[in-house]
Amino acid sequence: MRLTHLVSGVALLALSAGAASAATITIATVNNSDMIRMQKLSPQWEKKTGNKINWVVLEENVLRQRVTTDIATRGGQFDILTIGSYETPIWGKQNWLLPLDDFPASYDYNDIFKGVRDALSANGKMYAVPFYAESSFTFYRKDLFEKAGLTMPAHPSYDQIAQFADKLTDKAHEQYGICLRGKAGWGENMAFLDTMVNAFGGQWFDMKWQPQLTSEPWKKALTFYVDLMHRDGPPGATGNGFNENLALFTTGHCAMWIDATVAAGMVYDKNSSQVADKTGFTSAPMEVTDHGNGWFWSWALGVPASSKNAKVAKDFLAWATSKDYVTMVGETDGWTVVPPGTRESTYANPAYIKAAPFAETVKASILSADITHPTKDPVPYVGIQYVAIPEFQAMGTQVGQLVSAALAGQMTPDQALKQAQASVTSTMQQAGYLK
């Protein structure tokens, strides 16, 4: 009897110890299919570790504002944050994030593409681990090209893209030669336009942080963009962001679309796309240079310095961004939907290559997107479709609004750029970059 009591007591103690070590972590993330899949699969990690996850899912812009407030004030409401390659180095330098360089050897840091690792590092340390990465490239309708006797080159120029668009536009049948982002925002129209300006040989700042928005490449690029969209773009393009163009392309209204590589999986999904078997992929267009002609972005996961469960949070990250996780997604949900653009091993997997015909083009686009050399001439900043300084979000959105106004015909491209130059110069002076 006494032995039974002793055994029961020990078992109870062991259970209590187990319960005490289990923790609840809160993860703030964006609402996209990859993150929702992670949420769906996370009970497996919970079951394995005994820990619990509270999910806070928000729209990207709301999330950005929400987590910025929390991390800047050390609010400590989240243990894991979903952040981009823009925020990671800035927040890492501020010591707002914990370094993530102590995962077990099986995590295999070297399997992550070097460019992705660099984009998520500051002072030589990784401050976030990539969930997926993307570049931009050109989607085109193979059937329309074939019908018109056109051939899409492997590395098209913007002049060629314009010629194709002119030939493939048939507004009477709601077929538009090209669909491009027009909705104002640093992550919307400016993400595309920045790559276009880079391809035309332009840059945001010279080596002395002097704004360059009235330089010839900017004028040429913006005039080209506005003219092309007026001739061959869909109506109401100033309201079109990623989703709107995705809808236009997948319902057969666009002959070409230059946008995020992550859209490839959606365009290829026969359940939601009418052009799944008619779409081809090629690199983002270049013009005078191919530096920065395709963007780089990664949605990554970081642990704020204010987290009270950092150890458990890191354990989850090591699971959710591992090679095993990629395999698990491939085997449970299909290989076309595995998180793309982060690991060599994903692209060495024959099952993935077979299921995703766009995989090699995506990989090539991501590998060629060098955020440390984004422009033809040297610049003092990193970032292709953004400038990795805290002031950029506001500047980018303001310039995006002026670009959108030029597209709407409310002002000429020259007027828009003059105003943009004045506004950016003022911000840079206030921020102390310019004397």
Q: What is the largest CA-CA distance in the chain?
A: 92
Q: Which is nearer to another protein, 59 or 216 (CB)?
A: 59
Q: Which is nearer to another protein, 201 or 234 (CB)?
A: 234
Q: Does 242 bind another protein (CB under 8 A)?
A: yes
Q: What is the CA radius of gyration of the chain?
A: 24
Report in angstroms how near the CB of residue 86 gets to another protein at its nearest: 14
Q: Which of 8, 69, 332, 372 binds another protein (CB under 8 A)?
A: 69
Q: Which is nearer to another protein, 29 or 283 (CB)?
A: 29
Report in angstroms how near the CB of residue 80 gets to another protein at its nearest: 12
Residue type, 173: H
Alpha carbon of 426 to those of 105, 210, 214, 420, 423: distances in Å? Answer: 48, 11, 15, 10, 5
**3 state DSSP class of 60:** helix
Q: Which of 196, 213, 260, 402 binds another protein (CB under 8 A)?
A: 260
Q: Which of 8, 16, 44, 54 binds another protein (CB under 8 A)?
A: 54
> If you ran DSSP here, which 8-state letter would residue 130 be given?
E
Query: Rounded to 5 degrees, what angle do the CA atoms 365, 366, 367 make?
Result: 95
CA separation for the pair 199, 318 (Å, rounded):
37
Q: Which of 23, 46, 49, 56 binds another protein (CB under 8 A)?
A: 56
Report in angstroms how near the CB of residue 269 gets to another protein at its nearest: 10
List, as one string, the DSSP characters of 186-211: TTTHHHHHHHHHHHTT--SB-TT--B
Q: Which is nearer to another protein, 58 or 150 (CB)?
A: 58
The answer to whether 129 and 314 are in contact (CB under 8 A) is no
Chain-centre distance of CA 45, in angstroms?
A: 26
Contacts 24+ apart (CB under 8 A), 155-161: 155/282, 155/283, 155/286, 155/290, 156/282, 156/283, 156/285, 156/286, 157/285, 157/286, 157/287, 158/196, 158/199, 158/200, 158/224, 158/285, 158/286, 158/287, 159/287, 160/285, 161/228, 161/256, 161/258, 161/285
Q: Which of 21, 44, 61, 95 binds another protein (CB under 8 A)?
A: 61
Contact pattern from residue 24 through residue 53 relative to another protein, giving x for each residue in contact according to CB under 8 A and a dash for the rest:
--x-x-xxxx--x--x--------------
Contact pattern from residue 272 through residue 311 relative to another protein, giving x for each residue in contact according to CB under 8 A and a dash for the rest:
x---------------------------------------
Q: Which is nearer to another protein, 178 or 266 (CB)?
A: 266
Report in angstroms how near the CB of residue 108 gets to another protein at its nearest: 28
The answer to whether 178 and 273 are in contact (CB under 8 A) is no
Report in angstroms how near the CB of residue 299 gets to another protein at its nearest: 9
Binding to another protein (CB under 8 A) within 374-403 occurs at none
Q: Which of 84, 115, 177, 187 binds another protein (CB under 8 A)?
A: 187
Report in angstroms how near the CB of residue 76 gets to another protein at its nearest: 8
Q: Does 241 bind another protein (CB under 8 A)?
A: yes
Report in angstroms how near the CB of residue 265 gets to another protein at its nearest: 10
Phi, psi dihedrals of residue 54, rounded to the nearest 5°:
-100, 125
Stretch that binds another protein, among 73-81, 94-102, 285-293, 353-361 (CB under 8 A): 73-81
Report in angstroms how near the CB of residue 212 gets to another protein at its nearest: 28
Q: Does 327 bind another protein (CB under 8 A)?
A: no
The answer to whether 379 and 215 are in contact (CB under 8 A) is no
Q: Which is nearer to another protein, 132 or 204 (CB)?
A: 132
Binding to another protein (CB under 8 A) within 89-148 occurs at none
Alpha carbon of 10 to those of 2, 5, 50, 127, 179: distances in Å? Answer: 12, 9, 20, 41, 68
Report in angstroms how near the CB of residue 1 gets to another protein at its nearest: 45
**3 state DSSP class of 301:** strand
* Dihedral-angle region of residue 153 (phi above 0 means left; psi in -120 to 50 means alpha; beta otherwise): beta
Nearest by Cα to 296 from 387, 199, 371, 201: 371
Residues binding another protein (CB under 8 A): 26, 28, 30-33, 36, 39, 54-62, 65-66, 69-70, 73-78, 187-188, 241-243, 246-247, 250-251, 253, 260, 262-263, 266, 271-272
